[in-house]
Structure 1
């Protein structure tokens, strides 16, 4: 007689769309989802990176070769709503959407430098695109609380930095947005993950060694966050059908020091 699979199969055969899935935390979510038996659709604005990432995942999980595909979606342009609609039409029906998309931080966000144009650029991927995604996603999500949208912010919403007011404003807005979308989209669930500093390929090798060393004293864990640990928060948000409108912080205790 086989063991029951009450918990281990929560994501088995689920279809999961990961926006920003070609690197960092998004790639980790894609890896973990495949390991748990899900079908994964990754998306980013760069077609060649999508092709490389699909090939990389297929090499890592050869038995899941047919369970991963990718589509282009530019979330940073004026045509963002059309791009989201096109992506969702290509993807079809999914069970979960994970949003880890980000763009490079620019050094024009200080109050003395901002213009309406730079504000629009700072907010496009961080806040405007998630709102537009929530507008169109319900038609493409399996109805009910087994489905979810998981957004991503950053620990600057809890520990602001000088000169980051516009970025923190948009990032913090995601927290309030998550709670309200949980009402607007019910019974579909929506939650927000707030990672602290995470060791990803976004840091160049020149920065990485110094950063890893500095965070040993800035986190109660004594080390910088690792992708494979932070990904667990996203898996939990997808699997817990009682979780909605919640903010989950995974920061290595850095807010305490």
Structure 2
């Protein structure tokens, strides 16, 4: 029996991309899965598709707008509806704010951090209210390879991505014995890249000659949920892109 069998998991950003991959993997493991995202149609379609793929699977969809100033209240309301939880997974994101330094404004700095940094920290605040107590429960956050490797015009976002490493370690200490971990993906085949997907030249430059798929990367999240000895940890899944 899987360690996730009958465990209740919520995946923020679970209607597409990596989050959908995590939801699917969790269903394969026999978990009770809730996905939460802002697009009602996408949530409905994802639940329908996954129910079709896994007729015995238990999956529900929830609509939540993480971009509003009232996000803490919205998170608390949603979590209260589905708790007690075994695991919270956060994969939500918005378009990458890549911009030259001379175009950065204070408003842009606030906007870039809202989904990537501020909301995960609020989830850390709320997690002890809604996760079952003890080291078997976990909160798993998401950063990216740019947290460890600089790229041109990524100054606006890189600080937040790197900051998630520090946030994860400190939350792991502050929320103990609840476990808090972080996944750091490289480029992944997700809708974020548009209809043409990840550019071929980007894939060819990695040591593996490819980038990840959502289901491949989802294995990192499943591992961190299962390993009750892992907390304050970062798992990289990036096709070896940091080796170049």
Question: Please, which moves more after superposition, 193-202 or 120-129?
Answer: 193-202
What's the counterpart of residue 88 of structure 1? 79
Query: How many positions carry a matched residue from both structures?
Result: 244
- How far apart are residue 45 of structure 1 and its match? 1.2
Q: Give distance in 1, aligned partners of 2:39 and 2:195.
A: 22
The runs of 4+ residues in structure 1 deviating greater than 6 Å are: none
Q: How does 1:1-257 map to 2 (within 5 A)?
A: 8-64=1-57, 67-107=58-98, 109-206=99-196, 208=197, 211=199, 213-257=200-244
Q: Give distance in 2, aligned partners of 1:217 and 1:204.
A: 18
Compute the TM-score of the two structures, normalised by the length of structure 2: 0.96
- How far apart are residue 216 of structure 1 and its match? 4.1
Q: Deviations over 1:200-237 (max 9, x none)?
A: 2222233x2x71x2134321112111222111111100
Question: Please, which moves more after superposition, 22-31 or 82-91?
Answer: 82-91
Preserved CA contact (<8 Å) 1:99 1:150: yes
Q: Deviations over 1:103-135 (max 9, x none)?
A: 01235x432122221111100000000000110
* Residue segments in structure 1 that go unaligned for 5+ positions in a row: 1-7
Preserved CA contact (<8 Å) 1:119 1:166: yes
CA RMSD of aligned residues (A): 1.3
Preserved CA contact (<8 Å) 1:77 1:124: no
Preserved CA contact (<8 Å) 2:95 2:192: no
Preserved CA contact (<8 Å) 1:154 1:171: yes
Q: Give distance in 2, aligned partners of 1:162 and 1:147.
A: 38
Q: Give distance in 2, aligned partners of 1:39 and 1:235.
A: 13
Q: Give distance in 1, aligned partners of 2:62 and 2:109.
A: 27
* Residue segments in structure 2 that go unaligned for 5+ positions in a row: none
